[in-house]
Amino acid sequence: MESSGVISAIVIGTVIGTLGRLVLPGRQHIGVLWTITVGVAAAFVGSGVAGGLGVADAKGVGWIEWLIQTGLAAVGVTALERVNAHS
């Protein structure tokens, strides 16, 4: 992966992680770096899921792919927060 790909993955991951936190009620007690990490992972996994469902190559904005990625980020943030709460 080129450096521009890594930078765009971090930017997209930040946006996806932030959206994942915003759809959850209340305050999440995880840091910014964890939010970015969860967002990057959700973006990669969500792209794979969208590709598997055949919705990744939409013309224009891939709203369904973004929804999948955001949902996965919300699940990831919730899981991470629960793990951190019990440790």
Q: How many structural domains comprise the chain?
A: 1
Model pTM score: 0.81
* pLDDT reported for residue 47: 85
* pLDDT reported for residue 71: 92
Q: Residue 65 belongs to what domain range? A: 3-85
Distance CA 26, CA 54 (A): 34
* pLDDT reported for residue 75: 92
Q: What is the pLDDT along the chain (87 residues), one digit of tens a residue?
A: 567 667 877 888 889 888 888 888 888 888 888 888 999 999 889 888 988 988 877 777 778 888 898 999 999 998 988 887 776
Give 21-29 contacts, CB < 8 A, sequence gap 24+.
21/73, 21/74, 21/77, 23/70, 23/71, 23/74, 24/74, 24/77, 24/78, 28/77, 28/81, 29/81, 29/84, 29/85
